[in-house]
Structure 1
């Protein structure tokens, strides 16, 4: 396992695979790099991929201190510095998309192109999930809440044909304090004021049937970020990148190729 030291000394585990220009892949809340296992190879025809375990997840340290999406973005910079990567494209999904927003806004010289998947700007300008979804995820029985999350991630047909394990449902090895810190970090994210500062070419991708992070947020991001493009995937829920990989991966690679073509 390879680690990068964060500014506060926290060890951040990272994984670099493939060859070619680097593409940073950022996972969702309370998840480690395994979030990308099912689709990571799809990018290796043209890119190397760089993932990390957020602090609190995977093999990274798990300090019992406050986390934030801005802190996660700083951890990404620490990994890039450790590898000597001056500039990379970034693809963030769910909370990883929130981290990617701040990465691109606060460190513009480090981000070549930006892809934001199934994410939102956060704060009062974002569109919140419904009370029905909140109640489903807050059920006291862990099995019931997990099933509700599974159904928000994937369509019934996908679930019926693939019993798992599902790496998008959270890192099972996270301590309780880290789960709380991740939840707070995501809930307190608000990038609305800095979204217009993003100068990187940006693609916003979202499933049309996403209720975990309502699809209306994709339109908000695309309208707020200068020159951003929007790509909606019909019928897809939150984990669009996995279930609809044939419809999701190629447009992302096409976008990355196009923006870097003279």
Structure 2
């Protein structure tokens, strides 16, 4: 399992009144100076519900020498300002567009995981000029979220139940052979307030992009874990079938958290896709 050998450079920038924290690769700069993102492809990593940008540390390490990877903490997540998440996936997409504007990035490859994938799709529909290509990871245009899961997160938010630390979403092989990855996920989970995790799930439960994604006219890759029961391989295949020219990659022995469960295979699929893009 690849690990970060040195701390990733990080910065804050103001986006829509939120102090927004982000990770990147390359030379550090003064606080008010935007880093150099001219190396290779600009790849913006958008995390999932209740998560944060540090979850992408394996990808920042893997792509930093050749490309310009960036991973932000959405409002209320990780170290970014805010005590609540934004209300809708569309609000998050608008925020990501504003984040790119603040970094003086006209367009980028947008890689979204889970909720981040829905954000990426919405961004490509309504802010198409900001998107060079899409990598849609463990996501769906309409999420299948059980009512009891929403209620469980509400109970945690209200202080009526403790945070749940379980192996849901991981491949059985990961749980058996690499439990440190599960523990890492738990540590990332506690960096974001339960209120935000709850509002994120509400936002995900309300989104439905099944028809709208047919309007997307960008190169796209949908990635799914073969063992993911939430955002399934069928969801990835649906996306690939709706977006003209999109491709689909199913990774064996992976669940919902492929970026840390199977980073070598995941990163290889991303590199192959990014390398195929026209200059």
User: TM-score interval w.r.t. the shorter chain?
Assistant: 0.7 to 0.9
Whether the aligned pair in 2 keeps the contact of 1:118 and 1:206 (CA below 8 Å) is: yes
CA distance in 2, matches of 1:76, 1:168: 25
Give the secondary structure class of the aligned counterpart of 2:78. Answer: coil
Residues 1:161 and 2:178 are matched in the alignment: yes
Across the two proteins, how many residue pairs are aligned to each other? 251
| Aligned counterparts of 2:191 and 2:218: Cα–Cα separation in 1 | 35
Secondary structure at the residue paired with 1:146? coil
Tell me the residue number matched to 1:71: 91
Equivalent residue of 1:37, what SS? helix
CA distance in 2, matches of 1:168, 1:95: 18
Asked if the contact 1:56/1:179 (under 8 Å) is kept, the reply is: no
Alignment partner, residue 208 of structure 2:
190
- The equivalent residue for 1:229 is 247
Show the 5 A alignment for 1:192-231.
192-231=210-249
Query: 194-203 or 238-247, which moves further after superposition?
Result: 238-247
Residue in 2 that maps onto 1:91: 111
- Using a 3 Å threshold, how does the CA distance of structure 1 residues 146 and 13 change in structure 2: closer, same or farther? same
CA RMSD after TM alignment: 2.7
Q: Is the 8 A contact 1:14 1:52 kept in 2?
A: yes
Extract unaligned runs of 5+ from structure 1. Answer: none
Deviation sequence 1:59-117 (CA, Å, 0-9, x none): 21214475211111112112211111101111111111111101111111111111001
Q: Which residue of 1 aligns with 2:166?
A: 147
Q: TM-score, normalized by length of structure 2? A: 0.80
1:12 aligns with 2:20: yes
**Inter-CA distance 157–241: structure 2 relative to 1 (3 Å threshold):** closer
Higher relative contact order (CA 8 A, sep 6+): 1
Is 2:105 the counterpart of 1:62?
no
SS at match of 2:70: strand
Give me the whole-angstrom Cα distance separating, in 1, the residues matched to 2:79 and 2:125.
28
Determine if contact 2:84/2:196 at 8 Å carries over to the other structure.
Answer: yes
SS of the residue 2:180 aligns to: coil
Write the mapping of 1:237-256 to structure 2, written as runs, cut at 5 A. 237-256=255-274
User: Counterpart of 2:137?
Assistant: 117
1:235 shift after superposition: 2.5
Question: What's the TM-score once normalised by structure 1's chain length?
Answer: 0.84
SS at match of 1:252: helix
Q: Structure 2 unaligned runs (5+)?
A: 1-9, 27-38
User: Are 1:22 and 2:42 an aligned pair?
Assistant: yes
Q: Distance in 2 between matches of 1:104 and 1:49?
A: 19
